[in-house]
């Protein structure tokens, strides 16, 4: 998975959110929060040499049809939590004197 592909997917998701900004009554905070978490987890995963392709695809699929439903967003949140857990599991234990 290339950085460019991951960036393009995150950028598309943010574009969908931005275009929904003019819809009255739509709270965009959960969408922005999910994409922010996804971007951070994908970046951490790439840095830790974790296969992030399924998670990048999950973001792309979730935002492919426009603003996703609450259920789709929750499903994506769970996928991102899985990636965060994989990244955290790969970290070595802290060395003596190093903060947790």
pLDDT of 42: 95
pLDDT digits (tens, 9 = 90+) for 49-70: 999 999 999 999 999 989 999 9
The pTM for the full model equals 0.82
pLDDT digits (tens, 9 = 90+) for 14-51: 999 988 988 888 899 999 999 999 999 999 999 999 99
CA dihedral of residues 39, 34, 60, 46 (deg, nearest 10): 20
């Amino acid at each position: 998975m290339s950085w460019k592909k991951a960036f393009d997917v995150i950028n598309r998701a943010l574009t969908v959110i931005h275009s929904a900004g003019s819809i009255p009554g739509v709270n965009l905070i959960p969408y922005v929060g999910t994409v922010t978490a996804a971007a951070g987890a994908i970046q951490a995963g790439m840095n830790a040499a974790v296969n992030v392709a399924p998670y990048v695809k999950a973001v792309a699929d979730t935002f492919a049809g426009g603003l996703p439903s609450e259920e789709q967003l929750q499903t994506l949140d769970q996928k991102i939590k899985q990636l965060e857990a994989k990244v955290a599991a790969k970290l070595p234990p802290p060395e003596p004197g190093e903060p947790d």
